[in-house]
A and B are shown apart, each in its own frame.
Chain A
Amino acid sequence: MLTVPALHAQTVAVKGRVTGVSDADALPGVSVVIKGTQRGTTTNADGSFQLEVPGPSTVLVFSFVGYKSIEETVGNRTDINVQISPENKSLEEVVVVGYGTQSKRAVTGSVISINYDKFKDRSFSNVTQSLAGTLPGVNISQSQGAPGASPVIKIRGVSSITAGTNPLIVVDGVPLENFNLNLINPSDIESIEVLKDASSAAIYGSRGSSGVVLVTTKLGKAGKVSVSANLEYGSQKVVRRVKMMDAQQFIETYKDAKNNAWMAQGGKAGDPNSVRPATLRIPEDFVNNPEQFGKGTDWQEAMFRTAPSVNAQLSVSGGTEKTQYMFSGSYLDQTAVLDQNYYKRLAIRSNVRTSVTDKLTLGLNLGLTSIFDRTEGTQGKSDVISLGLQSNPHFPVYNENGNYGFRDPNSTWFRFTSYADMNLWHPYSLTREVDKGRKSFNTLATGFLEYELIKDLRFRTSISGNLYNTRNNFYWNDKQKYGYSSVLAAQANAGSNYMFNWLSENTFTYDKKFGDHALTGLLGYTVQKQRDETMYVAANNFPNDLVHTLNAGTVTAGNTTASEWSLISYLARVQYNLKGKYFVTGAIRRDGMSRFGEANKWGYFPSVSAGWLISDETFMSAIPAVSNLKLRASYGVTGNNQIPNYGAISLLGSAPYVNGGTLANGLKVSGLSNPTLKWEKTDQFNLGLDLGLYNNRVNVSAEVYNSITRDMLLFVPIPDITGFSSQLTNIGKMRNRGVELNISSKNLTGAVTWTTDFNISRNRNKVLQLGPGNAPIQYVDNVVTVRTEVGQPVSNFYGYIFDGVFKNQAEIDGYPHHSSTTPGDPRVRDVNGDGQITDADRTIIGNNQPDFITGITNTVGYKGFELSFLFQGSFGGEIANNNVRFLGTWDNGRNFYESMYQYWRSESNPGDGKHFKPSVNYLGLQKQFSSYWVEDASFVRLKNIRVSYSIPSAWAGKLKMKDARIYVNAENVHLFSKYLGYDPENTTYGTTSYSSSMETSGSYTSGNAPVPGAFAGVDYGSYPLPRVITVGIKADI
Chain B
Amino acid sequence: MKKLILLLSIVSLTVGSWGCKESFLTLAPASNPNAENFYKTKADFDLAATAAYNTLYTVYHPQGAVSYAGELMADNATIYNISGNQADKWQFRDYTLAPANTLVYQFWQDFYRSLYNINIVLDKLEGATLDADYKTKLQGEMLFLRGLYYYNMVQIWGDVPLVIKPITAAESYNVLRSPAAEIKAQVIKDLTEAKGKLAAAPSLVGRATKGAAQTLLGKAYLMTGDKTNAAKELKEVYDSKQYELLPAYTSLWDPKVKNTKESIFEIQFLGGSAIHPFSVYHREFFPNSNALGFYGSGMNQAVDDIWNEFETGDSRKFASIDTGFVDAKGVFTPARFPKKWMDKSAPLINQDIAANNNFMVLRYADLLLLLTEATGEVSYLNEVRKRANLPLYGATSYPAKYNTVALALEHERRVELAFEFQRWFDLKRTGRAVEVLKTKGKNITDNKLVLPVPNIVRDQNNKITQNQGY
Contacts and interface: CB of A to CB of B under 8 A. Distances in A.
B50 A718 contact: no
A217 B279 CA distance: 57
B333 interface: yes
Contacts of A773: 173, 460-462
B27 A566 contact: yes
Most A Cβ at <10 Å: residue of B26, B27, B81: B27
B376 interface: no
B80 A721 contact: no
B41 to A, nearest CB: 12
Contacts of A546: none
Contacts of B395: none
Contacts of B102: 780, 783
B19 interface: yes
A504 B24 CA distance: 14
A720 B34 contact: no
Contacts of B33: 651-652, 667
A394 to B, nearest CB: 14
A727 B167 CA distance: 13
Interface stretch (A179-187, A656-664, A757-765): A656-664
A527 B16 contact: yes
Q: Contact residue range for chain B?
A: 35 or more
B260 to A, nearest CB: 13
Contact of A488 (B277, B288, B335, B350): B350
Interface in A794-853: 819, 838-839, 842
B277 A656 contact: yes
Interface in A913-940: 921-923, 925-928
A556 B347 CA distance: 13
Nearest to A664: B50
B312 interface: no
Interface string B429-460: 00000000000000000000000000111011
B48 interface: yes
A556 to B, nearest CB: 6
Contacts of B46: 664
B54 A656 contact: yes
Interface stretch (B130-138, B213-221, B289-297, B405-413): B289-297
Interface string B315-330: 0000000000001110
Nearest to B177: A721
Contact of A775 (B1, B19, B459): B459
A383 interface: no
Given A504-B12, A667-B47, A722 B81 contact: no
Nearest to B324: A278
A57 interface: no
Given A562-B31, A601-B25, A724-B116, A656 B50 contact: yes
Nearest to B160: A721
- Place the interface of chain A in its size category: 35 or more
A668 interface: yes
Contacts of B119: 723
Interface in B17-74: 18-20, 24-27, 29-36, 38, 44, 46-57
A772 B173 contact: yes
Nearest to B27: A594
A69 interface: no
Interface in A281-298: none
Contacts of B11: 463
Interface stretch (B225-233, B268-276, B382-390, B416-424): B268-276
B277 A722 contact: no
B400 interface: no
Contacts of B84: 782
Interface stretch (A304-312, A412-420, A620-628): A412-420
Interface in A698-744: 716-725, 727
A506 interface: yes
Interface string A612-655: 00000000000000000000000000000000011001111101
A551 interface: no
Contact of B206 (A565, A598, A658): A658
Contacts of B87: 783, 922, 925-928
Contacts of B277: 656-658, 663
B120 A669 contact: yes
B169 A278 contact: no
Given A357-B1, A651-B35, A652-B33, A722 B293 contact: no
Nearest to B458: A775
A780 B96 CA distance: 20
Given A488-B351, A651-B34, A661 B268 contact: yes
Contact of B50 (A422, A655, A721): A655
Contacts of B35: 649-652, 669, 673
A798 B115 CA distance: 31
Contacts of B173: 719, 772-773
A786 to B, nearest CB: 13
A652 B288 CA distance: 36
A360 B112 contact: no
Contact of A721 (B96, B112, B275, B455): B112
A277 B113 CA distance: 39
B168 interface: yes
Contacts, number: 304
Contacts of A783: 85, 87-88, 102
B23 to A, nearest CB: 10
Contacts of A725: 109
B404 interface: no
B29 A420 contact: no
B108 interface: yes
Contacts of B1: 356-357, 360
A330 B44 CA distance: 56
B258 to A, nearest CB: 7
Given A525-B16, A725-B109, A782-B85, A461 B54 contact: no
A719 B289 CA distance: 39
B126 to A, nearest CB: 17
A727 B53 contact: no
B293 A487 contact: yes
A486 interface: yes
A742 B32 CA distance: 49
A772 B168 CA distance: 13
Contacts of A421: 81, 290
B268 A658 contact: yes
Contact of A649 (B36, B57, B275): B36
A831 B387 CA distance: 59
Interface string B94-124: 1010111010000011001101110110000
A506 B18 CA distance: 13
Contacts of B333: 278, 418
A663 B276 contact: yes
Interface of B: 1, 5, 8-9, 11-13, 15-16, 18-20, 24-27, 29-36, 38, 44, 46-57, 80-81, 84-88, 90, 94, 96, 98-100, 102, 108-109, 112-113, 115-117, 119-120, 161, 163, 166-169, 172-173, 175, 204-207, 258, 268-270, 273-277, 287-295, 327-329, 331, 333-335, 348-351, 455-457, 459-462
15 contacts: A409-B328, A486-B295, A488-B350, A488-B351, A650-B34, A655-B54, A657-B57, A658-B276, A658-B277, A661-B258, A668-B51, A668-B117, A720-B109, A723-B113, A783-B85
Given A657-B206, A718-B460, A720-B113, 10 more contacts: A485-B295, A486-B290, A487-B328, A504-B12, A527-B15, A652-B35, A658-B268, A661-B205, A668-B52, A722-B168
Interface of A: 277-279, 356-357, 360, 407, 409, 414, 416-422, 449, 451, 459, 461-463, 485-489, 491, 502, 504, 506, 525-527, 529, 540, 556-557, 560-568, 592-594, 598, 601, 645-646, 649-653, 655-670, 672-673, 716-725, 727, 772-773, 775-776, 778, 780, 782-783, 819, 838-839, 842, 892, 921-923, 925-928
9 closest residue pairs by CB, A with B: A723-B116, A666-B50, A527-B19, A666-B51, A668-B51, A655-B51, A658-B268, A650-B35, A461-B12
